Structure 1
Amino acid sequence: MTSASAAAGKAQDSRAFEAAARVGYVVLGLLHLLIGVIAVGIATGGGGDSADQSGALQQVRDAPAGLALLWVIAVGLAALAVWQIAEAFVERDSDAKKRWAHRAKFVGTAIAYVAIAVTAVTLAMGGSSDSSESSQTLSVRVLAMPGGVALLVVVGVAVAAVGVAFVVRGCTRAFTKNLSIPAGTAGRGIRVFGTVGYIAKGVAVGVAGVLFVVAAVTHDPNAAGGIDAALRSLAALPFGQVVLWLVGAGLIVYGLFCFARARYARM
């Protein structure tokens, strides 16, 4: 691990690599802005697009210079994923358990970024992608396995736990530990945006996890549909349109927070 840590530290010393990774945070901000706008559109009775990464990327593709922007998104997210992996192997704690938890967190985040980057490349090359369909396909395959119901419940609980972690991170403002936040009004705004954004994203991810559990218990893979299905399911709750509007607005705020993160992240 010593050589891996040394290689990770060397990679993080590259200014060009750091700049590319910061572009990745800008990309994340753009995607969350678009997802939030789609969610608000659904809450107000419009919006036929998927309120998830694939829906946001399809909107990018259809925009002027969309294909070029998709490649920028793919490169930025790939760089950010590599940065996360490098961060995972930088030794920051003498406690072995904390080190492995640290590594799992950053590697898991890197995998998520790579998945979005692959979707961007797929769309840029003329393919198609549907996150909800992918979630349902995953559910079908897992349910067909021996012990598939229990395994899908575990998947759902794990996803829901990630959502809870986002909410906790927002409420405790733990995200500030990785930022060099400026003093004054700007700093206070970043903290507020981060808190609101993390809670909104946590709610969306948490509900997606619950849908996986529902799919397992009911043996209905169509119940699992990713973030888009999670957000649309909120609309079915009492005062659901208001709840969905608030979550969508929160995701827009999270997107703005990501722009600030690109500038102030400690890298």
Structure 2
Amino acid sequence: MASTPDAADVSRAGRKAGRGARDAAHSMPVRVAARVGIAANGLLHLLIGWLAIQVALGSGGRADQNGALGAIAAEPLGRMVLWVLVVGFAAVVLWRAVSSVWGYGYLGSRTEQLARRAVSAGLAVVYAVLAVLAATTALRGRASSGGGGQATADLLGLPGGQVLTALVGIGVLVGGGVMVWNGWQKRFLQDQDLSGARIRIRRLNARTGQIGFIAKGIAIGILGVLLCVAALTVDPQRANGLDSALKALREQPYGVFLLIAVGIGFACHGVFCFLDARYHRVT
């Protein structure tokens, strides 16, 4: 009769599995693919920036991830490019997930390490969503026509949905504010190794990162406000994702100019991602 594994055996098996996951995430193929994923995110931000400027000038297109992925799908060899993005995004998910448990040992403060690990866990979720969106677009040959309105409607339909939606909106608003602050303080430099970069590259990296984080934080903050408005009015279409946030910005006084500025900011974030793909500490 086989013996039942004791707690020590289970613990050893758990540690072995953990080491296996960590080794896989730190392997050269995954590290290279993760850099491809970071660069792919840069391509998406460049496209979102371009689409935002088009919206500012009166276009009726979608200025969000769906719109960007749809623009890729419409090009020759677009589906092949999308599958490359899927692989890169999936690698980033693995790397970020492992980093959320063991990463950021180069930071001296334990509190800072825990904060960065929490952010890394959130980014793993973000890239997982991007991977699913890219795969779905590649399979269909076009982007999904749905937006964040359905997700907001589902949340509002839950017991206490208005309160939950308002809390999510406040969380998104705070997250946007943190992104603006991190961009202003250039905290993203802590996760990069620029020791071999030229002075001009360092300056370009710092400026595009600073502008990009601030612009993206503003857009996310507006989305948070729209979620709070949706909670108060019980109207999910008030918060239809990033696209609705950017279009809401256009409706403000001098909104065309503000949206063009935010679009340029998203494009700057795209350039920063290309640099980050080269200099991020993927360890």
TM-score, normalised via structure 1 length? 0.92
CA distance in 1, matches of 2:200, 2:263: 25
Superimposed CA distance per residue, residues 77-125 of structure 1 (whole angstroms, 9 cap, x where no aligned partner): 1111111001111153798765554332111111111111101111111
Q: Structure 2 vs 1, CA of residues 161 and 127 (structure 1 numbering), >3 Å: closer, same or farther? A: farther
Cα 1:101–1:8, aligned 2, differ >3 Å: closer, same or farther? farther
| Aligned match of 2:66 | 54
With over 3 angstroms needed to count, the CA separation of the structure-2 counterparts of 1:130 and 1:204, relative to structure 1, is: farther
1:35 aligns with 2:11: no
Provide the secondary structure at the position in 2 that maps to 1:230. helix
Secondary structure of the structure 2 residue equivalent to 1:51: coil
d(CA) in 1 for partners of 2:111 and 2:158? 32
Equivalent residue letter for 1:55: G
Please tell me whether the aligned partners of residues 173 and 224 of structure 2 are also in contact (alpha carbons under 8 angstroms): yes
RMSD (Å), alpha carbons: 2.0
**Higher mean C-alpha displacement, 94-103 vs 182-191:** 94-103
Conserved 8 A contact 1:155-1:212: yes
Bigger shift: residues 90-99 or 114-123? 90-99
Residue number in structure 2 paired with 1:111: 125
Aligned counterpart, 1:144:
157
Q: Is the 8 A contact 1:163 1:204 kept in 2?
A: yes
Flag the 1:3–1:200 CA change in 2: closer, same or farther, 3 A. farther
**How do 1:86-105 residues align onto structure 2 when only pairs under 5 Å count?**
86-90=98-102, 92=105, 100-105=114-119
Match of 2:271 in 1: 256
Gaps of 5+ in 2: 1-13
Q: CA deviation at 1:41?
A: 1.0
Give 2:139's aligned amino acid. M
Counterpart position of 1:153: 166
**SS at the partner of 2:102?**
coil
Aligned position for 1:80? 92
CA contact (8 A) 2:74 2:141 kept: no
Partners of 2:154 and 2:111 in 1: how far apart?
33
Shift in Å at residue 258 of structure 1? 0.3
CA distance in 1, matches of 2:68, 2:250: 20
The answer as to 2:274 corresponding to 1:221 is no
Distance 1:143 1:12, change over 3 A: closer
Q: Indicate conservation of the 8 Å contact 1:234/1:244, yes or no.
A: yes
How far residue 10 of structure 1 moved from its aligned partner, in angstroms, is 1.7
What is the identity, as a one-letter code, of the residue corresponding to 1:30? Answer: L
- Runs of 4+ in structure 1 off by over 2 angstroms are 1-9, 91-104, 127-131
User: Structure 1 residue 257: deviation in Å?
Assistant: 0.5
Quick one: structure 1 residues 26 and 95, their matched pair in 2 at CA, closer, same or farther if it must change by over 3 Å? closer
The structure 2 residue matched to 1:175, chosen from 185, 188, 201, is: 188
Aligned partner (choices 230, 247, 259) of residue 262 of structure 2: 247
Query: Is there any run of 5+ residues in structure 1 with no aligned partner, and where?
Result: none
Cα distance in 2 for partners of 1:84, 1:104 equals 10
